[in-house]
Amino acid sequence: MIQLNNLERSYKSPAGQFWVLRRINLEIREGEFITIMGPSGAGKSSLLNVLALLDDGWQGEYWFRGQAAHEMKRKQRSELAKRNIGMVFQSYHLLDELTVRENIDLPLSYKDIPHKQRQGMVADTLDRFQIVAKKDLFPSQLSGGQQQLVGVARAVIHKPAFLLADEPTGNLHSSQAKEIMELFRELNRQGTTIVQVTHSETNAAYGSRTIQLRDGWMVADTANPDLEAYEAVKQ
């Protein structure tokens, strides 16, 4: 589904070039549930942002279902992301001025979808996530878990093929976290390819594959035992 070849990301700083991702070669197949782990500053969120096509400053190749994202302009990438990718954030990033229903409807409002169809999709999603009773509440009126639930609902309403989650349970209690992870598992079972970033081993256990990053390098991949140790690669 996704192929990254020699993908790198760096920033210029007064001290010189600062690398956050180094020669990432990664293949993500349809239906996988991948966990990306690593210490702080390893480049986990940076990799997730690249996968989400939120970041443009990378070099290398990024193939999405055979399409060369690395050759696309910003607008084309946005369209690609809009159609195929959903994102769940650690801080939920719900809009405080919008109700639950309106937050869930938000991604649809940026697509050319007829109004009635949108209404139907929102209704279905509310029902699917069992939050119909809360549709007219504002985020400040929900618990953390409920907010994240809405965040997930918003991320999947347009049935993306690819769901990215950046520390989705980072701000939740364990029981709420379990609920969210179970939801992810169910979505994956239904065919959604999921990539999550997490520090939690418990959460990682829900996935089918774990990738380790360190200092921007991919140092381990449970799907690729032949991955060279990063010390050797660094040399």
Partner 1 sequence: MHMNVLSQDIRYGLRQLRNNPGFTAIVVFTLALAIGVNTAIFSIVDALMLRSLPYSHPDRIGTIFTRISGPILSDERHHIDGEQWELLRDEVPALISAVSGTRTSGVNLEAASHVQYVQAGRVSEHYLDVLSIDPVMGRNFSHTEDLPHAPKTAILSYGLWRKAFDADPHVVGRSVLLRGEPYTVIGVLPEDATTPLNADVYTALQPTRQGEGGGTNFDCVTRLRDGATWPEADSQINRAWLHRADRYELGDNPGAQVSYYSVPLQKGQTATLRPQVLALMLAAGFILLIACANLASLTLVRVLRRTPEIATRMALGASRWQIQKQLWIENLLLALVGGTVGVAVGFGALRGLILLLPEHFLPVSRLSLDTRELAFTGFVSIATSILFGMLPAFATRRLDLRSAMANRMSEAGEGMNLRQGLITGEVALTVLLLAAAGLLARTLIHLETLPPGFNAEGVMTAKASLDDARYHDAAAFRKLLSESTEAMRQIPGVQYAAVGLSLPYERELNSGGITISDGKEAGRDVIGDEVYVTPDYFAVLQIPLLSGRAFTESDGANTQPVAIVNQSFVLKAFHGQNPVGRHLNKNQVIVGVVRDVAMVPGLDNYHLPLSTEETMYIPAAQMGGWNLELLHIWFQPSWIVRTSRPIEGLTARMQRALASVDPSLPFSGFHRMDDLLAKTLATQRVEVALLTTMAALALLLSAVGIFGLVANMVRQQTREIGIRIALGSTIREAMIHIGVPGLRASVLGLFMGLVLCAGGLRVMRSVLYGIGVYDGATIASVVVVLASVTLVAATVPTLRIARIDPARTLREE
Q: List residues near partner 1 by CB under 8 A.
A: 49, 52, 54-55, 75, 78, 81-82, 87, 89, 93, 95-98, 102, 106-107, 109-112, 114-115, 154
Q: Which of 163, 198, 170 is nearest to 42 (CA)?
A: 198
Q: How far is the CB of 27 from partner 1 (least distance, A)?
A: 24
What number of other Cβ atoms are within 10 A of residue 205's Cβ? Answer: 10
In the bound complex, what is the minimum distance in angstroms from residue 121's beta carbon to partner 1?
14
If the CB atoms of residues 46 and 198 are measured against partner 1, the closer one turns out to be 46
For residue 116, the minimal CB distance to partner 1 (Å) is 9
Between residues 113 and 220, which has the closer beta carbon with respect to partner 1? 113
Task: Give the nearer residue to partner 1 in terms of CB position, either 139 or 230.
Answer: 139
Token pair recorded at residue 212: 């380790």
* Contact status, residue 213 vs residue 36, Cβ threshold 8 Å: yes
Other Cβ atoms less than 10 A from the Cβ of 158: the count is 19
* Comparison of 31 and 60: residue with beta carbon closer to partner 1: 60
Q: Which residues contact 100 (CB under 8 A, 6 or more apart)?
A: 126, 131, 134, 135, 136, 137, 138, 139, 142, 150
Question: Least distance in Å: CB of 208 to partner 1?
Answer: 26
- Give the list of residues 6+ apart from residue 170 with CB closer than 8 angstroms, or none: 90, 198, 199
Choose between 58 and 184: whose C-beta lies nearer to partner 1: 58
Task: Find the shortest distance in angstroms from Cβ 224 to partner 1.
Answer: 27
Run of H or E including 126:
helix 115-128
Task: Give the neighbor-by-neighbor strand order of the sheet with 67-68.
Answer: 16-28, 2-13, 58-64, 67-68
- Would the CA dihedral through 223, 60, 36, 18 be positive or negative? positive
Helices (H) and strands (E) counted in the chain, each on its own, are 8, 10
* Shortest distance, position 226 Cβ to partner 1, whole Å: 32
Nearer to partner 1 by Cβ, of 12 and 75: the residue is 75
